[in-house]
Amino acid sequence: TQSTRPQRLLGAVQKNATRGDPRSVVQAIDQFCRQKEWAMNVGDEKGCILDSVVSEVNPATVLELGTYCGYSTVRIASRLPPHAKLITLEFNPDFAVVARQVIAWAGVEDKVHLVEGASGDWIPKMTEQFGVKTFDLVFLDHWKDRYLPDTKLMEECGLLRKGSILLADNVICPGTPDYLEYVRSSARYESQYFKSHLEYTKVEDGLEKSVFLG
């Protein structure tokens, strides 16, 4: 039977990366995506912007919406302070199976809790299921038409506090126009656009960083 692209990406990690070395896992995936097959990881260029935001925020609690193969999960988790927690949500069970193995290969599984399901179902359950009061950082990288409804849902569930940071991938390509309009026009957010490119291409894309003002 045919392998899937995530399975081939995992094979490249297991072949080329060193167990317990997150940087080598990130490098192996970027090499695979540049030389073999494009895949929708945040990638090396936007990944550096993600790294700098994580280091600046130094979050104790992180929510990632959209795990895919765990590339950004590994980038974030490897930069978290001790005892910090990253909850990552993946809807597609085939992606989740691969992501768990990529996260384990990188040796960051102690900082990561991968949950399978839909954001609309899980966001209201975060506090009761994981004891999380608020998130210091949220990385949005799931269905682009869910960024806005899920942001409003996180506000309603009290999961954002004054100073919580939302970092959104793909605000240009594929694009999240309603989300961008909301965070840029709402008095409750201070937004900043980081211009970059769609992973592994010359097409414009970028990350939008939005601070919740309470």
Q: Interface with ligand 77Q includes 65 (CB under 6 A)?
A: yes
Q: Interface with Mg ion includes 169 (CB under 5 A)?
A: yes
b/e per residue, 19-41, with b = 16+ CB within 10 A? eeebebbbbbbbebbeeeeebbb
Work out the burial of residue 171: count CB atoms within 10 Å of its CB; fewer than 13 is exposed, 13-18 middle, 19 or more buried: buried
Instruction: Return the range that interacts with Mg ion (CB under 5 A); candidates 12-20, 91-99, 110-118, 162-170.
Output: 162-170
Cα–Cα distance between 112 and 168 in angstroms, integer? 20
Is 170 catalytic? The answer is yes
Is 46 catalytic? The answer is no
Q: How far apart are the first and last CA of the chain?
A: 52
Instruction: Return the range that interacts with Mg ion (CB under 5 A); candidates 25-33, 77-85, 145-153, 166-174.
Output: 166-174
Residue 151 binds which of Mg ion, ligand 77Q, none (CB < 5-8 A, kind-dependent): none
| Shorter beta-carbon distance to Mg ion: residue 136 or 199 | 199
Q: Where are the beta strands (DSSP E) in the chain?
A: 61-65, 85-90, 112-116, 137-140, 165-168, 189-197, 204-212
Beta bridge partners of 209: 167, 192
Single out the residue of 174, 175, 195, 213 in contact with ligand 77Q (rule: CB under 6 A). Answer: 174
CB 141, min distance to Mg ion, A? 4
Cα–Cα distance between 203 and 101 in angstroms, integer? 30
Ranges within 78-117 binding ligand 77Q (CB under 6 A): 89-91
Bridge pairing between strands 189-197 and 61-65? unpaired
| Shorter beta-carbon distance to ligand 77Q: residue 21 or 168 | 168
Is 169 catalytic? The answer is yes
CB 203, min distance to ligand 77Q, A? 7
136: left (phi over 0), alpha (psi -120 to 50) or beta: alpha
CB 174, min distance to ligand 77Q, A? 5
CB 70, min distance to ligand 77Q, A? 12
Cα–Cα distance between 159 and 82 in angstroms, integer? 22
- In the numeric block, the tokens 């992973």 are attached to 199
Q: Interface with ligand 77Q includes 17 (CB under 6 A)?
A: no
- Which residues are near ligand 77Q by CB under 6 A? 40, 65-66, 89-91, 118-119, 141-143, 146, 169-170, 173-174, 198-199
Could you give the residue numbers annotated as active site?
141, 144, 169-170, 199
